[in-house]
Amino acid sequence: MHAADALIAEQIRAVLTAAEEGDGTAPIVEAGDPVLRTDTRPFDGQVDDAELEKLAEVMRATMLAAPGVGLAAPQVGIALSMFVAEDPGARDPEVAEVRQREPMPLRVVLNAGYERAGADDVAFYEGCLSIPGYQAVVARPRTIALTGTDLQGSPIAEEVSGWSARIVAHETDHLSGILFLDKAEMRSLATNGSVAKFWHQPSTQKAAAELGFALPSGLVM
């Protein structure tokens, strides 16, 4: 086994051990840790199917406990191309409509990649479990083409739209060492408390006008 693959296997087993000895979750790595800036390696049998499935369970439990809607392997200290995502959707009908935030069932994706699948960009506040306490507006494609494989090794090739596309793109970016702040409108940067106090609207039009940043193609999203 390649040394890098052996290291990934070691990282996976360390996470599984920590979860077993604790509450079933793993510690989340925060910004500044080099693993968040490392290109991940594809899954290529570094561990067996049972360990891989257990890792997916631990990552999902960690994501839900945080709470969050997505988690990539680097965020638990593993330089592997893998993420989990699950979103209950927006409760507020207006938010659901403006943000195109519909429920997304649990998905586990290995060796993920994406490309834009349309000309439209939309810009909304987003945060990251590895950068706790802060959010910023990020413009992302409304629709993306996702590729990868599932836990059973079956290929994934599909278009994902709306808020689900934002989640998937955010998590896939982690696999290339990219954090959401790398793509954010930095004039929009705010604490979670400030977002709740000032920018708790379905769109980011008000935030853009008052904080002084542009929205893509004149959109009011």
Annotated binding site for Fe cation: 128, 170, 174
The closest of 99, 186, 171, 205 to 137, measured between CA atoms, is: 186
Structure letter (DSSP) for residue 40:
P
- Binding-site residues sit at 128, 170, 174
The closest of 31, 35, 1 to 15, measured between CA atoms, is: 35
Contacts (Cβ under 8 Å, ≥6 apart) of 46:
1, 5, 6, 8, 9, 12, 80
Residue positions counted in the chain: 221
Q: For this structure, is 94 an active site residue?
A: no
Give rounded-to-5 percent helix, strand, coil for the chain: 40, 30, 35
State the Cα–Cα distance between residues 17 and 6, nearest whole angstrom: 16
Could you tell me how far CA 167 lies from the centroid of its own chain?
5
From 86, 126, 171, 185, the catalytic residue: 171
Q: What amino acid positions are annotated as catalytic residues?
A: 171
